[in-house]
Amino acid sequence: MSGPGDPPQGTLILLRHGQSEANAAGVLGGWADFRLSPHGEAQAAGAARLIAGAGLLPDEVHTSLLHRSIRTAQIVTDRLDRSWTPVRRTWRLNERQYGALTGRSRRRMRQEAGAERYERRRRSLHAVPPPLSDDRPALLRADPRYAALPGESIPPVESFAALLARVTPYWSDVLAPSLGRGATLLVAAHGNSLRALVTLLDRLDEPAVRALDIPTAEPLVHHLGPGLRPLVPGGSYLAPDRARAATAAVAAEGHA
């Protein structure tokens, strides 16, 4: 419990986008701009119902620069009748840059690489896939979304540790100050950028990072106390039984 002299508690709603076309096809999405599938659109509407039912009305919305993140947030705020809520979009919340593995089948990668190497690439802190071919970073730099970024900010590939380093300044400079003022924030982003935020919130070690999976369109709520520490470590899913089953499905991706 916080005392009368403690700062107000903020609330952070983490929401992975609804099922994307990449999720539906069983391929790695990365920075490729896949859209939501019809099922993903319905999932986002379901997430909005859960958020409304919990009485959580966001004061701010934060998304990546990728369509599946932006569209998920739009559906949620429309369903909450909060389409006027201030929105910030940032490349720092983009999905992990999977390099040459972008668009590759998870199942085929596991067959080719073997189970151990596949899981290490997918979930360890420091494993790095092969980078994008030489022309692909130039295409990203030409994209108007990224035109203002220094060239070195557009990674040809990322480990999870590199993604964590990318997300950390957005947490410390943007999200944490708003939460410290007691705001309720909705972050609609991606499996790995949300894993990075949970890693920061809960100060996870590498084994815990490897075990962490975030399912699509299942709102994960962190009520924060003094020092912006979660009152419940790991946060709470608004539909815990469904989220538990969906998390197990994420962990099994590529195995079937």
Q: How far apart are CA 15 and CA 237, in angstroms?
A: 10
Nearest residue to 221 (alpha-carbon basis) of 9, 3, 1, 26: 9
R_g of the chain computed on alpha carbons? 18
Neighbour-count burial for 178-209, b at 16+ CB within 10 Å, e otherwise? bbbeebbbbbbbbbbbbbbbbbbbbebeeeeb
**105 to 22, 165, 199, 218: CA distances (angstroms):** 9, 27, 27, 24
What gap in Å lies between CA 103 and CA 58, rounded to an integer?
A: 33
**Cβ-contact 62, 90 below 8 angstroms:** yes
Active site residues: 17, 95
CA separation for the pair 227, 31 (Å, rounded): 33
CB contact at 8 A, 21 and 59:
no
Q: Which strands, in side-by-side order, build the sheet including 60-63?
A: 87-89, 60-63, 184-189, 11-16, 220-223, 236-237
Distance CA 5, CA 8 (A): 9
Listed in order, strand segments (DSSP E) in the chain are 11-16, 60-63, 87-89, 184-189, 220-223, 236-237
